[in-house]
Amino acid sequence: MKVLFVNAPWFTGELIGIRAGSRWAHTRRIKSELKYVPFPFNMAYSAAVLEKNNVEVAVIDTLAEEMREPEFLERVKKFSPDLVVMECSTPSVNIDYQNAKKVKELVGCKIAFVGNHSSALPKEVLKNDAVDFALIGEYDYTLRDLALNFGDEKNYSKILGLVLKDRNGVHVNERRPLIKTLDELPLPARHLFKMEKYNETFCEHHPNVQILTSRGCPFNCIFCLEPWVKYGPVYRARSVPLVLKEIRMLIDKYKPKEIYFDDSTFTVSEKRTMDLCDGIIENGFGIPWSCMTTSSCIRSREMLEKMKNAGCERIKIGLESADENVLRQIGKPYNLEHVRKALRWAKELGIGMHLTFMIGLPNETKESIKNTMKFVQSLAKEGLVFSMQTSIATPFPGTKFYEMALKNNWLTADSWSSYDGCRLGVISYPELTSEEIIQLKNEIDKAWRYSSVPSSLLVKKTKRLMRQRGVFTGSVLAFKKAINYIYHRIVK
């Protein structure tokens, strides 16, 4: 039995697609100066489970290797798998069908789709002739059971989390319960991946390596795939000793200059966070790290201080909007004064904060988005935010946001390929069109880019460019940015 995990080619003109390892499938320029290549944890954990059960496994990640179709198909043919496990996402699904068809014609294997789109719409996905199975949600053990019973079709209907075809059409088995104790899973099968190819651009240092200390999130944001499609609103954490053991292994084996904790919400438990930080300090890892969380899970300055002492350099926070009414509606009941307080704590401790905003959420108006812009500018003026990014609110299938969009006739897209929250809008409200949403997103980006900020923050940004790009390239880029900033702030 041979299983091949595939993150297949996804190219559109000058763009390359990012799906496996990313919470939001999207595209970026192929020739980006700083390339975001997320580590595909779902594939890596499932591959480790198969190896533990003596199944022969291989991986082809065409994003990491920037591999085009001819080489990809040649590699598939060389391995000659019995089963191909293929990542599928909403904006790439039509390309995924094409890839599946070519693979099936080439080697005649069975093909299983995994990922958020096939978990949300398994019946639709299995209508395609090239797709034999879909694995819903957390599929580590679903795939194990399929591999161990491969070819024994009478047992397929007993495999929890499996969607398959039968004489009556498409059959959806009962969903598999979540793994109760994550510590029972083997460590990700990183030896199957070209680890030097992966890069988290949020990190200041390269090479870096990513690690998961938990799965899921206790919150229920209407736009997020994790609570609605993947895990439910359930948070499960790995034990601190096991996480510390994995960190030691990563440092010894891969020699990273930074670690990125890829948890959806790293600081859900203040006690666990501080215990983990104590362990990092006691083990003398001496390596910088960064993470993602929510402002509501930054409950005290003491926790941030402990994180700083343990090596935390940057934190990413998904704020989404600066309108508290909108935040309540989307499941993020933030108090903006607490947000500002948490950012001030971080500034005092020297932790760089990165905020993300989603433009075009339900109940937003031009005025509320303008208020978000003013909020961003006020944070910039005080030097509370090191960096920022915006995306276009996108209702992915399976989420509550998608159900709302269907019910209220907000959807404007006629193709799944439009569901790329970086470049295209797929919703339009009576008081706010998709064109206006994109325009306002661009205005916020511009407002941030040319906001008045303390000179000390500009110096830090310059140093970061040099660390990421090298002294010469970083200096040139910093000079160009400085000229552009001065022109817009003073001349224009």
Domain ranges of the chain: 2-172, 201-453
Supply the pLDDT for residue 126: 97
Closest CA to 343 of 385, 310, 292: 385
Which SS3 state, helix, strand or coil, does residue 64 take?
helix
One-letter-per-residue 3-state SS of 77-112: HHHCCCEEEEECCCCCHHHHHHHHHHHHHHHCCEEE
User: 15 is written with which tokens?
Assistant: 């763009």
Q: Is the dihedral of CA 35, 38, 39, 43 positive or negative?
A: negative
Spatial contact of 4 and 58, defined as CB atoms under 8 Å apart: yes
The number of residues making up the chain comes to: 492
Cβ count near 105 (within 10 Å): 10
What does the alpha-carbon distance between residue 428 and residue 394 come to, in Å, rounded to a whole number? 11
26-29/258-261 β-pairing: unpaired
Please report where in the chains the tokens 């005080």 appear, as a residue.
Answer: 382
Spatial contact of 357 and 319, defined as CB atoms under 8 Å apart: yes
User: 223 is written with which tokens?
Assistant: 């736009």
pLDDT truncated to tens, each residue of the chain (492 aa)?
A: 999 999 999 999 899 999 999 988 999 888 877 799 999 999 999 999 999 999 999 999 999 998 999 999 999 999 999 999 999 999 999 999 999 999 999 999 999 999 999 999 999 999 999 999 999 999 999 999 999 999 999 999 999 999 999 888 999 999 999 999 999 999 999 999 999 999 999 998 999 999 999 999 999 999 999 999 999 989 999 999 999 999 999 999 999 999 999 999 999 999 999 999 999 999 999 999 999 999 999 999 999 999 999 999 999 999 999 999 999 999 988 899 999 999 999 999 999 999 999 999 999 999 999 999 999 999 999 999 999 999 999 999 999 999 999 999 999 998 999 998 888 899 999 999 999 999 999 999 988 887 766 666 666 666 665 666 666 665 666 566 666 666 565 655
CB-based contacts of 243, cutoff 8 Å, min separation 6: 211, 213, 276, 279
Helix (H) or strand (E) segment spanning residue 319: strand 312-320
Helix (H) or strand (E) segment spanning residue 388: strand 387-392
Which SS3 state, helix, strand or coil, does residue 354 take?
strand
List Cα–Cα distances, 412 to 358, 395, 399, 400, 408, in angstroms: 18, 11, 17, 17, 12
Please report where in the chains the tokens 């944001």 appear, as a residue.
Answer: 221
Closest CA to 221 of 371, 334, 387, 336: 334
The amino acid that residue 286 corresponds to is G
Closest CA to 468 of 255, 201, 259, 210: 201
Alpha-helical runs (H) found in 181-239: 225
Task: Tell the CATH superfamily of the 2-172 domain.
Answer: Cobalamin-binding domain (3.40.50.280)
Rounded to a whole number of angstroms, the distance between the first and last alpha carbons of the chain is 65
Model's pTM, two decimal places? 0.92
The amino acid that residue 397 corresponds to is P
CB crowding 303-324: b at 16 or more within 10 Å, else e: bbbbbbebbbbbbbbbbbbbbe
What is the DSSP annotation of 214-275? EE--S---TT-HIIIIIS-S--EE--HHHHHHHHHHHHHHH--SEEEE--SSTTSSHHHHHH
What does the alpha-carbon distance between residue 397 and residue 225 come to, in Å, rounded to a whole number? 8
Task: Tell the CATH superfamily of the 201-453 domain.
Answer: Aldolase class I (3.20.20.70)
